[in-house]
Amino acid sequence: MFNDISMDYMKQALSLAKLAVGQVSPNPAVGAVVVKDGEVVGQGYTQPPGSWHAEIVALRQAAEKARGGVMYVTLEPCCHYGRTPPCAEAIATAGISEVHLAMIDANPLVFGRGNDALEREGIRVYIGEHEQEAKEINESYLKFMTTGLPFVTAKFAVTLDGKIATKTGDSRWISGGEARKYAHYLRYAADAVITGVNTVLTDDPRLTYRCGGIGGMVRKQPLRVIVDALGRTPPTAQVFNKPGKVLLAIGESVKTETKEALTLAGAELLELPSKEGMVDLTRLLRTLSERQITSILVEGGGTLLGSLFDSRLVDKVITFIAPVIIGGAEAKTAVAGKGVDKVIEAMRLERVNVEKFGDDVMINGYVKH
């Protein structure tokens, strides 16, 4: 069913979809290509919410050349009226004769109905080209649609002996420049970046994306979230510097004067139940999902990561391993928390990928629940 030429056009659509990742949430990142007589006559990717979907961008570029053409799109076209008209209807009106879909949309408002709408118009539909790649591009959207919760990625850099900092807390820089640049892309692709108060106190990070725009898309800063049950974040911390918004997840026992100082510094406060110095992380994720946050990048430290792993809230792990040895029994490790008693109980990763970034090695994979 799928020949090499067809697969190449779908690869092009997938490349376009990647340009929209992180900038169009809670919508999916979609790419579309229109082909007529072996020539690409239109292409596009999802624009920010309220603007055009990928299919419409491609059709507008193709104009009259779309009639009798073939569309390759990374996700099933929508078939309902939202902030924009249905794409399935626009495809039929444009005279497209054949549509190749990488995957069916998990949104209950679509989920096969877009395919049905196309077929009712006499359009030939083929499903499944590069399906796995399409799912990975929209892994956050798919989890959000099927569970109502955001997709959580834990990212950390460690030495060869598994340390994230020395015994004094110094951690700059374990990973090299190429790895840190990729870390900025991960922020660009996330709706929110979360860290713990200990990281703020030790490293004073900004948690912003600072590597320029991608694909001409207007740069959108992720929401910066600090988990701080006791309200220890200094109002002078760099995280409060613009651009972007800051949310502090605090416990209910934080004093009024502390809350007033943090609010004055520019933080939005979210009071949550807390226990043993950690706010209820499940409640935090649910609250973020209610705000249409579909993807979260967690940037440590060990206490926060340990709690997330203990609660089985992590979906994906991205680890940079640097050819450095720190040593020391008191040096900090990436994942603290309670952990497990036996190796057989340990969380394992599947679909593991390994890449090099300069002298560093990145290992990423999905937590096998």
> Using CA atoms, how far apart are residues 9 and 108, in angstroms rounded to an integer?
28
SS3 category, 199? helix
In the chain, at which residue ranges do the beta strands (DSSP E only) sit?
A: 31-36, 39-45, 70-73, 98-101, 124-127, 151-159, 163-165, 192-196, 223-228, 246-251, 267-272, 274-275, 278-279, 295-298, 316-322, 332-333, 349-357, 360-367
H helix or E strand, kind and range, residue 200: helix 197-203
> Using CA atoms, how far apart are residues 64 and 41, in angstroms rounded to an integer?
10
Tokens 């590597």 locate to 211
The catalytic residues are 55
SS3 category, 151? strand
Cα distances (Å, whole numbers) of residue 106 to 28, 103, 135, 225, 305: 10, 9, 10, 28, 29
Give the pairing of strands 70-73 and 31-36: antiparallel
SS3 category, 36? strand
Helix axes 4-18, 54-62, angle to 10 degrees: 120
Nearest to 77 by CA among 104, 50, 96: 104
What is the CB neighbour count within 10 angstroms for residue 208?
19
> Using CA atoms, how far apart are residues 321 and 7, in angstroms rounded to an integer?
34
